[in-house]
């Protein structure tokens, strides 16, 4: 079977940017001009194709990445529109893992914004060549030069301006193509074609300056072009275009275009640039993986005749169709009904329906070729990051690494009827979203949900209500406090019961002493002679453990304690395992009260990365929250603060940090150890527990 579109003419691209830069508006115009849609959707009116979820339309933001296919100049463009909010960064992460190129949208007024930096770093991680589109050139305060300087300064990119604006703010009417040396003027009516015109006289100076800069930067970043630049012959137009493409694919330069998507200006030249300068699957190196059996490295070339390999990058529970798995084919092809292997989990799967997605609309197909992004039904054991492969030639591709959740909430069903439905709903949501975690805390009896931010969890809880018809109560999770002792004691425990017939007799002497912090519970026996038979030692240890779990003076579990059985006595008839277990429990309970018990709280290791100018505010805030600064490291563009902070002080920290740094800081947090609660706070905690 001959391919409908040659692989050289396939583009897998993502639209990425900070929230409100205009990604979805750019995508809607791309769909209109490529003939995919016949009416332009508006974000403000909730009529966009790509923001199809009710919550996206209500909030005016993208929550989940949406995939579609469109065609331009005989090229097939597989397009993914990604979210801009930091809480949904996992959607960007998984999209960039399977894309070949990206269009980064910037607001002409704001320039590089916090999430722009985040998505730029993500694109760097996956070596994704990209084009920049400076949007909203018609807005008051729009500044093309300033935006370019922020891209160079904050992102460290080598900018290659391919266009300059004709007019600015309300007078913005078109762009000058620095490569082809002509102007394009646009009408706000999307049905009117762009008008080619000579370069306006008032733009000639700016044109000369940027044209020289374009040629010089190309010469600096492409050796082939350098030879032509230094030669005597005039440089051909095709030579310039080939050099831009080579330098872009190598990641040496980032082409920059401009326009106003909302006013339908500059979108067609952007599509031309996507086709001309972003990579096809053939421009990317063969994908590397490992053999699941031998662990040896395997390469899969992007060819239809190669063994089938694909990466599942997204799982969606569709209310009408069931479990949809999105995947990108890196080599070979797959048909409906084919048997494949999930080589990550060593599970056999069969391909059910194959679907090309257009946001939430579907088009059934019979075959998926190399370089295609599609979805399938019927895969029960495949999750995000898994590899699907030819059963005869299995390979495991590099998976997708997601950031760990940073905020947690307690949730409980409102009614008993909701209990089972809630468990099922949370399992399905966790399947879809790898940054959503569900755990059950045995100590507090709470179900804890964790995610990337308050908005992230709020959206997921809303989805439970709307999609799964289950409602829950949300609350702040309780901190799992613990207790320990601070001085050694020697205690006696007696359990004697006589009620006719065999009685119960257990008698022990224990030495309790503090153990090193974090070392947990240790049990030893130092019995001399035959005071207590050895077969009762496990019962004594079990009794001690039970008393520790029941809790100390306040009622929290006891940790970091060493118990040594040193003496005792037994009765040949009445002694039993139960009696010694009870005697040991009684000894611990009476001994803890005399061993100066203290309350312990979990302390987290927190690392904050932020621009230097916010360091004072961040350190001041951490000090006010009982944080202990361990070290501060300064880099060229940012500072890292490492500190230890009580878990109780971290709730809401994600939101607090964003407000302190205008959203430009990131942080990671992990459990460090338990430490003593300051004496002044113990009373409040005990009161809250009561």
Q: Which pLDDT tens digit goes with each residue over 359-377? A: 667 788 889 999 888 889 8
Mapped onto helix, strand or coil, the DSSP state of residue 201 is: helix
pLDDT of residue 636: 59
Tell me how far apart the alpha carbons of residues 276 and 103 are, in angstroms, rounded to a whole number.
Answer: 13
pLDDT at 650 over 90: no
pLDDT of residue 425: 84
pLDDT of residue 551: 74
Beta pairing, strands 407-413 & 334-335: unpaired
Indicate the range of 120-129, 204-213, 463-472 predicted with least confidence. 463-472
> Average pLDDT for residues 4-18, to the nearest whole number?
87
pLDDT of residue 52: 43
> Average pLDDT for residues 36-51, to the nearest whole number?
56
Q: Which pLDDT tens digit goes with each residue over 102-158? A: 999 999 988 887 677 778 888 888 889 999 999 999 998 889 999 999 999 888 899
> Average pLDDT for residues 538-547, to the nearest whole number?
90
pLDDT confidence tier of residue 321, bands split at 50, 70 and 90? confident
Report the mean per-residue pLDDT for the chain: 84
- Which one is predicted more confidently, 64 or 274? 274
Indicate the range of 114-118, 151-155, 330-334, 599-603 predicted with least confidence. 114-118
pLDDT confidence tier of residue 282, bands split at 50, 70 and 90? very high
pLDDT at 210 over 50: yes
pLDDT at 245 over 90: yes
Highest mean pLDDT among 305-309, 399-403, 612-616, 667-671: 305-309
117 CB-side CA count, 13 A: 20
- Which one is predicted more confidently, 3 or 553? 553
Tell me how far apart the alpha carbons of residues 458 and 452 are, in angstroms, rounded to a whole number.
Answer: 11
pLDDT at 276 over 80: yes
pLDDT of residue 329: 93
Token pair 């944080």 is at which residue? 627
H or E, element range at 679: helix 679-689
pLDDT at 444 over 80: no
Q: What is the rounded radius of gyration, in angstroms, for the C-alpha atoms of the chain?
A: 32
Indicate the range of 88-92, 106-110, 177-181, 638-642 predicted with least confidence. 88-92
pLDDT of residue 38: 67
> Average pLDDT for residues 626-648, to the nearest whole number?
84
pLDDT at 43 over 60: no
Tell me how far apart the alpha carbons of residues 584 and 578 are, in angstroms, rounded to a whole number.
Answer: 10
Highest mean pLDDT among 238-252, 306-320, 586-600: 238-252
Q: Which residues, 6+ apart, have CB-to-CB distance to 204 below 8 Å?
A: none
290-298 contacts at long range (C-beta below 8 A, 24 or more positions apart):
290/395, 290/396, 291/394, 291/395, 291/396, 292/343, 292/344, 292/346, 292/394, 292/395, 292/396, 293/394, 298/395
First-to-last C-alpha distance (Å) of the chain = 73
Residues β-bridged to residue 513: 562
Phi (first) and psi of residue 685, to 5 degrees: -65, -45
Indicate the range of 86-90, 449-453, 465-469, 516-520 predicted with least confidence. 86-90
Residue 518, classified by CB atoms within 10 Å of its CB into exposed (0-12), middle (13-18) or buried (19+), is exposed
pLDDT confidence tier of residue 601, bands split at 50, 70 and 90? confident
DSSP string, 583-610: HHHHHHHHHHHHS-EEEEEEEEEEEEEE
Tell me how far apart the alpha carbons of residues 523 and 682 are, in angstroms, rounded to a whole number.
Answer: 29
Mapped onto helix, strand or coil, the DSSP state of residue 680 is: helix
pLDDT confidence tier of residue 51, bands split at 50, 70 and 90? very low
Burial code of 235-252, b = ≥16 C-beta within 10 A, e = fewer? eeeebbeebbbbbbbebb
pLDDT confidence tier of residue 628, bands split at 50, 70 and 90? very high
Question: What is the CA 145 to chain-centroid distance, rounded?
Answer: 32
pLDDT confidence tier of residue 2, bands split at 50, 70 and 90? very low
Residues β-bridged to residue 309: 331, 389
> Average pLDDT for residues 654-677, to the nearest whole number?
82
> Average pLDDT for residues 453-479, to the nearest whole number?
78
pLDDT at 48 over 70: no
**Do 240 and 246 contact (CB within 8 A), yes or no?**
no
pLDDT confidence tier of residue 39, bands split at 50, 70 and 90? low
Q: How many CB atoms lie within 10 A of CB 593?
A: 13
pLDDT of residue 84: 59
pLDDT of residue 280: 93
Indicate the range of 146-160, 254-268, 381-395, 565-579 predicted with least confidence. 565-579
Nearest to 580 by CA among 512, 493, 514, 513: 493
pLDDT of residue 56: 45
pLDDT at 49 over 60: no
Indicate the range of 287-291, 496-500, 540-544, 624-628 predicted with least confidence. 496-500
> Average pLDDT for residues 397-413, to the nearest whole number?
79
- Which one is predicted more confidently, 445 or 690? 445
Tell me how far apart the alpha carbons of residues 243 and 241 are, in angstroms, rounded to a whole number.
Answer: 5
What is the DSSP code (8-state) at residue 653?
H
């Amino acid at each position: 079977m001959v391919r409908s579109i040659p692989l050289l003419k396939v583009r897998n691209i993502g639209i990425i940017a900070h929230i409100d830069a205009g990604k979805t508006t750019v995508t809607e115009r791309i769909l209109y001009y490529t003939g995919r849609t016949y009416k332009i959707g508006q974000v403000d009116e909730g009529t966009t194709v790509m923001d199809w979820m009710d919550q996206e339309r209500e909030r005016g933001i993208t929550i989940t990445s949406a995939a579609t296919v469109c065609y331009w100049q005989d090229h097939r463009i597989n397009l993914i529109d990604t979210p801009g909010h930091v809480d949904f960064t996992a959607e960007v992460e998984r999209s960039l893992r399977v894309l070949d190129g990206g269009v980064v949208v910037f607001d002409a007024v704001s320039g590089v914004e916090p999430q722009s930096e985040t998505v730029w770093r993500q694109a760097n991680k996956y070596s994704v060549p990209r084009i920049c589109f400076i949007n909203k050139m018609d807005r008051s305060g729009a500044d093309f030069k300033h935006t370019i300087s922020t891209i160079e300064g904050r992102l460290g990119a080598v900018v290659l301006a391919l266009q300059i604006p004709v007019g600015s703010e309300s007078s913005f009417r078109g762009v000058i193509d620095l490569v082809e040396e002509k102007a394009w003027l646009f009408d706000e009516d999307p049905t009117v074609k762009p008008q080619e015109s000579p370069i306006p006289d008032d733009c000639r100076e700016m044109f000369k300056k940027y044209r020289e800069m374009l040629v010089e930067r190309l010469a600096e970043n492409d050796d082939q072009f350098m030879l032509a630049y230094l030669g005597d012959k005039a440089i051909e137009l095709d030579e310039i275009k080939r050099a831009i493409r080579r330098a872009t694919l190598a990641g040496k330069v980032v082409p920059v275009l401009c326009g106003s998507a909302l006013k339908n200006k500059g979108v067609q030249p952007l599509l031309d640039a996507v086709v001309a300068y972003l990579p096809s699957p053939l421009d990317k190196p063969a994908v590397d993986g490992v053999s699941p059996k031998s662990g040896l490295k395997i390469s899969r070339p992007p060819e239809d005749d190669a063994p089938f390999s694909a990466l599942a990058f997204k799982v969606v529970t569709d209310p009408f169709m069931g479990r949809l798995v999105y995947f990108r084919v890196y080599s070979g092809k797959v048909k409906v009904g084919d048997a494949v292997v999930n080589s990550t989990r060593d599970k056999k799967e069969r391909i059910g329906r194959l679907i090309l997605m257009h946001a939430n609309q579907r088009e059934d197909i019979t075959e998926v070729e190399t370089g295609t992004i599609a979805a399938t039904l019927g895969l029960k054991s495949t999750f995000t990051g898994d590899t699907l492969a030819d059963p005869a030639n299995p390979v495991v591709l590099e998976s997708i690494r997601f950031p760990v959740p940073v905020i947690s909430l307690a949730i409980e069903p409102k009614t008993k009827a909701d209990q089972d439905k809630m468990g099922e709903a949370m399992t399905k949501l966790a399947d879809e979203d790898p940054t959503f975690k569900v755990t059950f805390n045995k100590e507090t009896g709470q179900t804890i949900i964790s995610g990337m931010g308050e908005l992230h969890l709020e959206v997921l809880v809303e989805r439970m209500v709307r999609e799964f018809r289950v409602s829950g109560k949300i609350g702040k999770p309780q901190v799992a406090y613990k207790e320990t002792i601070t001085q050694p004691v020697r205690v006696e425990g007696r359990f004697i019961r006589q009620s006719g017939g065999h009685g119960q007799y257990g008698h022990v002497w224990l030495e309790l002493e503090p153990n090193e912090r974090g070392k947990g519970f240790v049990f030893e026996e130092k019995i001399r002679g035959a005071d207590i038979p050895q077969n009762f030692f496990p019962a004594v240890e079990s009794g001690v453990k039970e008393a520790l779990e029941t809790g100390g003076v306040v009622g929290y579990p006891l940790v970091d304690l060493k118990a040594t059985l040193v003496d005792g006595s037994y009765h040949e008839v009445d002694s039993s395992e139960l009696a010694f277990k009870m005697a040991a429990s009684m000894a611990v309970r009476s001994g803890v009260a005399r061993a100066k018990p203290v309350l312990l709280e979990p302390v987290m290791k927190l690392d904050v990365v932020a621009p230097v100018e916010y360091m004072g505010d961040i350190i001041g805030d951490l000090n006010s929250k009982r944080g202990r600064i361990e070290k501060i490291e300064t880099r060229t563009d940012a500072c890292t603060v490492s500190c230890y902070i009580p878990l109780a002080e971290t709730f809401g920290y994600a939101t607090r940090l964003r407000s302190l740094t205008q959203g430009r800081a990131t942080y990671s947090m992990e459990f460090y150890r338990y430490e003593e609660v300051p004496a002044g706070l113990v009373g409040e905690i005990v009161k809250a527990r009561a």
